[in-house]
Amino acid sequence: MSSPEEPSDFEFPPGTDPQRRRPRLSFELLGCAWNGHALVGTDAASVGDEDTLVVRDLDHDRRLHRCLRCDAWTMLPVPAHPARPTPAPRDEIVLPDRGRPLKGRYVLRLIALTRAFNVLVLLLLLAGAVAVLADRTALRDDLVANASALQDVFGGQVIGQVQSVLAGGAGPLWLVATGLTVLVVLEATEGVGLWRATRWGEYLTFVMTTLLLVPEILELTSSTSPGTIVGMVINVAVVLYLLISKRLFGLRGGAAAVAAEREHDISWAALARHIPGRSTLDPGAGSRF
């Protein structure tokens, strides 16, 4: 049921939906906890009717600012020494991520952290290969022991094979070191691309993760260690998430649908959807403020 001040497509700001039964993480609130609210007009001498969506004067001394990310209204004093006569025009304001794009950004950063872990492990192995090449026996023995410890934790044959490489039991070591270097660069590039939520980062992650799934699946035929299975489940989840939620390769509308989703959640129209009619907040109309 909707009132004249609560249109049918009105969406409750994060953390305010009275209909919600189960708790849900509000990524907008996390973003504001970390970065602070994204406010407009804090440095403006005066605000007008065209600004009421995001900032409005409460009286001569106080002003209400709406956070562009989490929709919370914050009361601040009117600046004593304003830097500009009016708030920045809308086309100069960069709207912060919110809604589904913001949630997706957190997921991508979580995946990026797993890539950072992979880089650390690969660097350890690369250091081992270099140590063997330089004939630093003591360091090599330490790293072989570390690789063994990693295998105890994560299981699988890959680490065991690398341990064998470091012990001098496999082909030309310079080739192994080159391969490890390429992997480090690829994994690090992947992590940066994901952290910055780029389209190329999503595609690179999809290709790399899919390629790495092949040896993992082959490994399943001879080893069923918990580490192998957990790693494979995570990688399958990453691949499916990128395909379905990020709409790679044109799936579910592809890049156009991603752009439309972004426009739906991060735009001035989206801000207008999240706010009741002006009279509800108008101080002169007996508002709750």
Enumerate binding residues for Zn ion (CB under 5 A): 32, 37, 67, 69-70
Nearest-approach distance from CB 214 to Zn ion, in angstroms: 44
C-beta of 36 vs 253, nearer to Zn ion: 36
C-beta of 82 vs 96, nearer to Zn ion: 96
C-beta of 72 vs 124, nearer to Zn ion: 72
108 Cβ contact list (under 8 Å, min separation 6): 194, 195, 197, 201, 202
C-beta of 37 vs 274, nearer to Zn ion: 37
C-beta of 73 vs 206, nearer to Zn ion: 73
Give the chain as a DSSP string.
---TTS-TT--PPTT--TT--S----HHHHHHHHH----S-TTBS---GGGTTTEEESSSSEEEEE-TTT--EEEEEPPSS-SBSSPPPGGG--PPP-HHHHHHHHHHHHHHHHHHHHHHHHHHHHHHHHHHHTT-HHHHHHHHHHHHHHHHHH-SSHHHHHHHHHTT-SS-HHHHHHHHHHHHHHHHHHHHHHHTT-HHHHHHHHHHHHHHHHHHHHHHTT---HHHHHHHHHHHHHHHHHHHTS-GGGGGGHHHHHHHHHHHHSSHHHHHHTS--HHHH-GGGT---
- One-letter amino acid at 158 equals V
Sign of torsion over alpha carbons 161, 165, 171, 173: positive
C-beta of 98 vs 115, nearer to Zn ion: 98
C-beta of 1 vs 94, nearer to Zn ion: 94
C-beta of 215 vs 276, nearer to Zn ion: 276
Nearest-approach distance from CB 272 to Zn ion, in angstroms: 17
Instruction: Report which of 176, 193, 175 is spatially closest to residue 122, judged by C-alpha positions.
Output: 176
For residue 283, is it left (φ>0), alpha (ψ between -120 and 50) or beta?
A: alpha
Nearest-approach distance from CB 265 to Zn ion, in angstroms: 15
Nearest-approach distance from CB 70 to Zn ion, in angstroms: 3
